[in-house]
Structure 1
Amino acid sequence: MDFLRPASWEEALAAKAEHPTAVPIAGGTDVMVEINFDHRRPEYLLDLNRIGELSEWEVGADGGTVRLGASVSYTRIMEQLRDRLPGLALAAHTVGSPQIRNRGSVGGNLGAASPAGDAHPALLSAGAEVEVESVRGTRLIPVEEFYTGVKRNALQPDELIRRVHIKTADGPQQFSKVGTRNAMVIAVCAFGLALHPRTRTVKTGIGSAAPTPVRAAVAEDFLNAALDEGGFWDSGKRITPSIAQKFAELCSAACNPIDDVRGSAKYRRHAVGIMARRTLGWAWESYRDGGTSKGEAQCA
């Protein structure tokens, strides 16, 4: 196994173009596990740790988007971006141990493309785009189009993830995760929800309940219509139990889970419905109170 260690982004792109099978590594929280258990034996490892810009984040000129470097750690997201990206910060709280959060990153989660990745529901519900680049140029991929299959993504062989563009929260966001224990666990299933008062829409993200992370599009359409027709955004009144229950049922129907050692397909559908109803309730109560997000990430 050869180890490539570019000193700049341009060198990294050139190395990836010359060696398309090279596996990028920064935090190594997924890649090293696969290598240590001999599940993966790449010909080349492409070390990105010397490229400082990947560990930086910035807010766009209009203040409406955070440009998050691919190697920004979960710990820094929790500490520095809680106000701007509350859903992602809540999800970051549930990632592994402190040591994993110090090394792991959203870019790594996207590169691994595991359906159980904790960042995915928050990215889907917030409305994110993945900036990828090669020596041929740059392109932005809507996050819902980035996942193409189990542990597969839309990257071309010569492309690398440079940063993720995430809309700054304009309303409350929530994240909930079911695991076999309360910490340091892979999600049995997970759910992210974000209110977008400016556009009067609600977006969702579901993890570990389908071959790829998905949005519950039909559920979103139902809820957005119900909130609009009922005047909920203007009045701030509580969402009725019947609307919340229908939304939960439609979120469950958006799942396409499997039975495995962590949980059955039936349980995953049921749990997603429960999380959908609860996160909607938490987020809407925060909206009624004039807040952005409340409470901590829920992990049951």
Structure 2
Amino acid sequence: MEFLRPATWDEALAAKAEHPGALPISGGTDVMVEINFDATRPDFMLDLTRIAELTDWSADGDRLRIGAGVTYTRLIADLADQLPGLAMASRTVGSPQIRNRGTVAGNLGSASPAGDSHPPLLADDAVVEAHSARGVRHIPITEFYTGVKRNALADDELIAAVLVPPADGPQQFTKIGTRNAMVISVTAFGLALHPSTGKVGAAFGSAAPTPRRATKAEEFLSAELSDTGRWDSRAELDPAAVSRFGALVAEAASPIDDVRGTADYRTHALSVMARRTLVWAWTDYRRKRVRTCA
């Protein structure tokens, strides 16, 4: 195995173009596990840790541009107020040591259905910014996951950043694991309320071959809140609507039985988590005036 250590982003893209099979590594929290278990053995490793520009985040129009090297710890510290759902998910990732090294971009590159950052990114309509020596490509998050641990990146592309709109309403994230901490999710759910547009984002992980949005549940709740005037009145939710939302989320799943849980358990858990996160988010919405986009 040969180790490549570019000093600049241009050098990294040139190396990836020359060696399309090179496996990028930054935090290494997923990559090293696969190598240690001999699940992967690339001819080339592409170390991106020397490229300082990847560790920055900034405003990019109406979105936040989070560099591929921004760690979970930094995201929690710097962006919890603007991206609360993603920060909640980041807090559940591994141990403090893992959060100090791991990145959202690494989670995206691995494309595991159980990745904790995927549900909030889907609920927020994030966009993956991919670079290659050929140029820049923006991939909507709904098109990024193509299969179990497969993504839409071309062989010569690297993730440069992920673009996420700042929250304009309450967000929530919850997951269930076989223990309380440092665990891969049995299933996870992310919710984002978007009062500025009257939309709802709802997505889950570890209950389908890829992370997935619950589109029918989103459409139902968006219509329910609009048709009943609740976006403006902030009245209590109809319990029947909450139940229906949970049922539609569960219907969107296609889980399997595995060592962490059964398909039936995952389906039931998703329904419960969807109802709970909706109540939590709506309680926040009723309690305070939320920031809206200009």
TM-score, normalising length from structure 1? 0.96
Q: Tell me: CA distance 1:104–1:291, structure 2 relative to 1, closer, same or farther (3 Å).
A: farther
Matched with 1:247 is: 245
1:219-298 to structure 2, matched below 5 A, reads 219-290=217-288
Match of 1:117 among 115, 120, 143: 115
Instruction: Tell me, in whole angstroms, the C-alpha distance in 1 between the residues paired with 2:45 and 2:108.
Output: 17
Matched with 2:5 is: 5
Work out whether residues 172 and 291 of structure 1, in 8 Å CA contact, stay in contact via their aligned partners in 2: no
Work out whether residues 169 and 292 of structure 1, in 8 Å CA contact, stay in contact via their aligned partners in 2: no
Work out whether residues 173 and 292 of structure 1, in 8 Å CA contact, stay in contact via their aligned partners in 2: no
What is the DSSP-based 3-state SS (H/G/I as helix, E as strand, rest coil) of the residue aligned with 2:185?
A: coil
Is 1:42 the counterpart of 2:42? The answer is yes
Instruction: Tell me, in whole angstroms, the C-alpha distance in 2 between the residues paired with 1:128 and 1:39.
Output: 29
Instruction: Tell me, in whole angstroms, the C-alpha distance in 2 between the residues paired with 1:123 and 1:290.
Output: 24
Work out whether residues 53 and 69 of structure 1, in 8 Å CA contact, stay in contact via their aligned partners in 2: yes
Structure 1, residues 112-170: CA drift from partner, whole Å, max 9, x if none? 00000000001011120000011111111111110000000000000000000000001
1:1-300 to structure 2, matched below 5 A, reads 1-60=1-60, 62=61, 64-290=62-288
Work out whether residues 191 and 206 of structure 1, in 8 Å CA contact, stay in contact via their aligned partners in 2: yes
What is the DSSP-based 3-state SS (H/G/I as helix, E as strand, rest coil) of the residue aligned with 2:245?
A: helix
What is the DSSP-based 3-state SS (H/G/I as helix, E as strand, rest coil) of the residue aligned with 2:273?
A: helix
Structure 1's consecutive aligned runs of 4 or more residues displaced over 3 angstroms after TM superposition are none
Structure 1, residues 176-223: CA drift from partner, whole Å, max 9, x if none? 000001000000000000000110111011010000000000111111
| Alpha-carbon RMSD | 1.0
The number of residues matched between the two structures is 291
Displacement of 1:175 in angstroms is 0.1
Q: Tell me: CA distance 1:5–1:143, structure 2 relative to 1, closer, same or farther (3 Å).
A: same
Displacement of 1:39 in angstroms is 1.2
TM-score, normalising length from structure 2? 0.98
Tell me which amino acid in the other structure corresponds to 1:128: A
Displacement of 1:291 in angstroms is 5.5
Instruction: Tell me, in whole angstroms, the C-alpha distance in 2 between the residues paired with 1:126 and 1:292.
Output: 16
Instruction: Tell me, in whole angstroms, the C-alpha distance in 2 between the residues paired with 1:71 and 1:291.
Output: 33
Instruction: Tell me, in whole angstroms, the C-alpha distance in 2 between the residues paired with 1:140 and 1:290.
Output: 35
Instruction: Tell me, in whole angstroms, the C-alpha distance in 2 between the residues paired with 1:152 and 1:211.
Output: 10
What is the DSSP-based 3-state SS (H/G/I as helix, E as strand, rest coil) of the residue aligned with 2:222?
A: helix
Instruction: Tell me, in whole angstroms, the C-alpha distance in 1 between the residues paired with 2:289 and 2:41.
Output: 48
What are the ranges of 5 or more consecutive residues in structure 2 without an aligned counterpart?
A: none
Displacement of 1:228 in angstroms is 0.8
What is the DSSP-based 3-state SS (H/G/I as helix, E as strand, rest coil) of the residue aligned with 1:58?
A: strand
Displacement of 1:292 in angstroms is 5.4
Instruction: Tell me, in whole angstroms, the C-alpha distance in 2 between the residues paired with 1:8 and 1:238.
Output: 53
Instruction: Tell me, in whole angstroms, the C-alpha distance in 2 between the residues paired with 1:234 and 1:81.
Output: 27
Displacement of 1:247 in angstroms is 0.5
What is the DSSP-based 3-state SS (H/G/I as helix, E as strand, rest coil) of the residue aligned with 1:188?
A: strand
Tell me which amino acid in the other structure corresponds to 2:172: Q
What are the ranges of 5 or more consecutive residues in structure 1 without an aligned counterpart?
A: 294-300
Tell me which amino acid in the other structure corresponds to 1:78: I
